Amino acid sequence: MNKHFLNKRLAHQIGVAGLVPFCLLAIASWVVNVEWLETFATTQMVYSVITLSFLGGIHWGATMASPDLSARQTKRALLWSVAPTLIAFLSTTVHNYHLAFIAAGFIVTYHVDKHLYQWYKLPDWFIRLRLILTCVVVAALVLTLFGANLRAPN
């Protein structure tokens, strides 16, 4: 493992910085003029797709950097590494439910990460950080979903 990864401060700072667009877009869905709701909800969806895809990439990179994985673990981890991207893509096809679908994708991805992070010998703070980030992301998506739907013009 990268010895610099053991210093969690930078990872926490970057993780929190990644939450800023989620939170601002969620707030915007409640305060902007209703004519802008679709734009902000779409932007939230695009950012969510990018972020969920990134989470799959963690597994690809960690698998490549983990020489102690068995052949079975390697296969499972590499197969999983593309799943978040596929979930994110599929979420764009269910138009009335896309924010709920991708929120569920973040939850599923966290639960898989909780199981697999030990394979890569990542520090325990990693999964705790993932839980916090996932909770904020899901809350922001739910707030955006409700804000966009409750405030949408008839």
In this structure, what are the phi and psi dihedrals at residue 32, rounded to the nearest 5 degrees? Answer: -75, 165
Residue of 88, 82, 89 whose CA lies nearest to 104: 88
Per-residue pLDDT, 47: 99
Q: What is the pLDDT of residues 55-72, one digit of tens each?
A: 999 999 999 999 999 999
Nearby residues of 51 by Cβ (< 8 Å), 6 or more positions away: 18, 22, 137
Average pLDDT over all residues of the chain: 94
Q: How confident is the model at residue 119 (pLDDT cuts 50, 70, 90)?
A: very high
DSSP label of 152: S
For residue 13, the enclosing domain spans: 3-151
Per-residue pLDDT, 55: 97
In this structure, what are the phi and psi dihedrals at residue 102, rounded to the nearest 5 degrees? Answer: -70, -30
Interval 23-47 mean pLDDT: 96
> What is d(CA 112, CA 95) in angstroms, rounded to the nearest whole number?
26
Q: What percent of the chain has pLDDT over 70?
A: 95
Q: What is the pLDDT of residues 124-139, one digit of tens each?
A: 999 999 999 999 999 9
| pTM, rounded to two decimals | 0.93
> What is d(CA 144, CA 142) in angstroms, rounded to the nearest whole number?
5
pLDDT of residue 154 exceeding 80, the answer is no
Higher pLDDT, 151 or 22: 22
Q: 133: how many CB neighbours lie within 10 A of its CB?
A: 20
Higher pLDDT, 6 or 32: 32
DSSP 105-137: HHHHHHHHHHHHTTTTT--HHHHHHHHHHHHHH
The total of structural domains in the chain comes to 1
Interval 82-97 mean pLDDT: 95
Torsion of the alpha carbons at 43, 89, 85 and 129, rounded to the nearest 10: 40
Per-residue pLDDT, 2: 57
Alpha-carbon distance values, 29 to 55, 93, 131 (Å): 25, 21, 24
Per-residue pLDDT, 153: 81
